[in-house]
Amino acid sequence: MHILVLEDDPDARQLVHEAIAACVPPPFSIQDADHVAQCRRLLDTQRCDLLLADLSLPDGSGIEAIRHAARLAARPNVLVISSLADEDVVVEAITAGASGYVSKHDPASTIAHSIGITLAGGSCISPTIAQRLVGLLRRTASAACAPAAPAAQLTGSERKVLHLAAQGHNYRQIAQLTGTQPSTIYTHVRHVYEKLQVSNLAQALFEARRQRLV
């Protein structure tokens, strides 16, 4: 059993190691990465059965590593272990390919139990995170009952950026695929946010799908 831990905080990493030892039968191996780039290199070069990922890393979001793992031929199971509990972040992580999501503030037994479920191919969300998602679903349902607003008028370039983002590409990759500069992509994204009246990519993709723009 080969486990990769993406975590830059030494104390949090130790807690994850202890949770692994409490629920994973030997033999198993653990490799640590404290940057997204390092995690992606390890995923490309070494076997990984389970990825345990934090989201706040020095060089970006762990969601980038989750998307990378999801594109591998031998795709590992993925569990997010993060102190971030924002509903949009949770949805984005699961959409990217995570099988479950637990909070670092959850009891050690909950984290260990979640690791075991994810390793077995199951999905789990801790009660802390589930409560936030229930609130999101309620707000989404209320919005769905409201009178429909006219669809946003996006340009062809803005639709293209959204379409590629929905496929899991980051902004740098979108710039390469479209033959434009990253600054141009950021400008398109800013305009999309303004037109859709959202503040992040997860909200933009949700709203674009609701309006059938992608």
Mean pLDDT of the residues in the chain? 88
Question: Last residue of some domain: 91, 108, 138?
Answer: 138
Q: What pLDDT does residue 205 have?
A: 84
Q: What pLDDT does residue 140 have?
A: 62
3-state DSSP call for residue 71? coil
User: pLDDT category, 202, cuts 50, 70, 90?
Assistant: confident
Clarify whether residues 132 and 160 are in a common domain: no
Structural domain for 177, as ranges: 156-210
What is the percentage of the chain residues whose pLDDT exceeds 90?
Answer: 57
* In a domain? residue 92: yes
Closest CA to 159 of 121, 183, 188: 188
Q: What is the CATH number of the domain that holds 119?
A: 3.40.50.2300
pLDDT: which is higher, 209 or 188? 188
Q: What pLDDT does residue 201 have?
A: 83
pLDDT: which is higher, 115 or 197? 115
Clarify whether residues 162 and 124 are in a common domain: no
Cα separation of 172 and 129, whole Å? 30
Closest CA to 166 of 121, 102, 210, 101: 210
Clarify whether residues 105 and 31 are in a common domain: yes
Q: Please check whether residue 51 is in contact with residue 96, taking contact to mean a CB–CB distance below 8 angstroms.
A: no
Least confident of 74-78, 182-186, 206-210: 206-210
Q: What is the CATH number of the domain that holds 185?
A: 1.10.10.10
For residue 82, with 0-12 CB atoms within 10 Å meaning exposed, 13-18 middle and 19 or more buried, which class applies?
A: buried
Q: In the chain, what are the helix, strand and coil shares in percent, each to the nearest 5?
A: 55, 15, 30
What does the pLDDT look like over 98-141, one tens digit per residue?
999 999 989 999 999 999 999 989 988 888 787 767 666 666 66
pLDDT: which is higher, 169 or 137? 169
Clarify whether residues 162 and 133 are in a common domain: no
Clarify whether residues 125 and 164 are in a common domain: no
User: pLDDT category, 59, cuts 50, 70, 90?
Assistant: very high
Phi, psi for 171 (deg, rounded to 5): -65, -40
Q: Please check whether residue 171 is in contact with residue 180, taking contact to mean a CB–CB distance below 8 angstroms.
A: no
Least confident of 37-41, 127-131, 195-199: 127-131
What is the percentage of the chain residues whose pLDDT exceeds 70?
Answer: 91
Position 115: which residue type?
A: I
Clarify whether residues 171 and 121 are in a common domain: no
pLDDT average, residue stretch 146-151? 55
pTM, rounded to two decimals: 0.65
- Please check the confidence at residue 53 and state whether its pLDDT lies above 90: yes
Tokens of 28: 């198993």
pLDDT: which is higher, 147 or 19? 19
pLDDT average, residue stretch 62-80? 95
Clarify whether residues 93 and 56 are in a common domain: yes
